[in-house]
Structure 1
């Protein structure tokens, strides 16, 4: 088991966002979470990434119960619009991030960029990128280090059909290599097609609605 959320409660300014939420994500499993805007879907991803903390309950990632100030390793994270250093090229942004961990080199970065139809040799600054290019760069960052846990918030936002297909191929490849995935989206049909299990988050309550 890669992820276990136990009886989690989260409120913002007194408003219930998550109420007694429990969820598991196993190796080689894609778990989808759907719900309306502001339902708390992204909050679950933030809790798993250590960017936010519960009011009550436990969040366990890679066997470790997360505490304040702890960030789990071996994850690929895409939440909201990907952000990079505007003046640098896409490749230079990814190379700088990869150098922080030292787990992959130029070949891995270039290969992952090319899978998502990005040119590693393009010198244009990221600030000139279209929304679709910026999203593909964010997905490249998610996949390039082959993490064991992928946290994806609206991953196909601004992607054309070819890019969506490439993303799906990489998603399934990551699953086959042992990764667990939490995929948040408002596209119910997409989630139902891609995921092994699907949950609906409504009024703070998480309910399973589909098992493949």
Structure 2
């Protein structure tokens, strides 16, 4: 009896069909991918757009601003191979800038606009002053040597000091640097005032 019902059910037509088979909805054909007329072109029709490289974008921005990344010194009829100073058309030597006085008796080949120390020599002088003003010792057992006295706490990873002594050391370091820069700036100001031409007194 069950077998007979299954055979009868299988023989019944599917809804929406006329011959016992399911009807497939009709779909309109899509536009030809190679067609160029009529509607919108598909992305396959042309090359895949490639974003410009970062270096190219930087170069375009600099050209827009009128900046030359590698200006060459214009002295000696353009035969000077040295790059020009930023914002100038000639190198520091042809501009007549004096040599950096160097640091700790060592001469320096860099030139500065004012004749003061270059940035490299200033950094070396700063670190030398810090080493002299705030000498630091290290230990072999991984303990903090202390900043102003013996400590003995565990040092931080990659740091000879513990957290407490590191904070104290940084505070003293900032103070020493501020005092050193104040003395340096005062000496530079005094030297400039001495080099400035003395104005003739005005006679009444």
Q: TM-score, normalised by structure 1?
A: 0.22
**Which structure has the highest strand share of the two?**
1
Greater share of helix residues, 1 or 2? 2
Task: For CA contacts below 8 A with separation 6 or more, give which structure has more relative contact order.
Answer: 1
Larger Rg: 2
TM-score by length of 2: 0.23
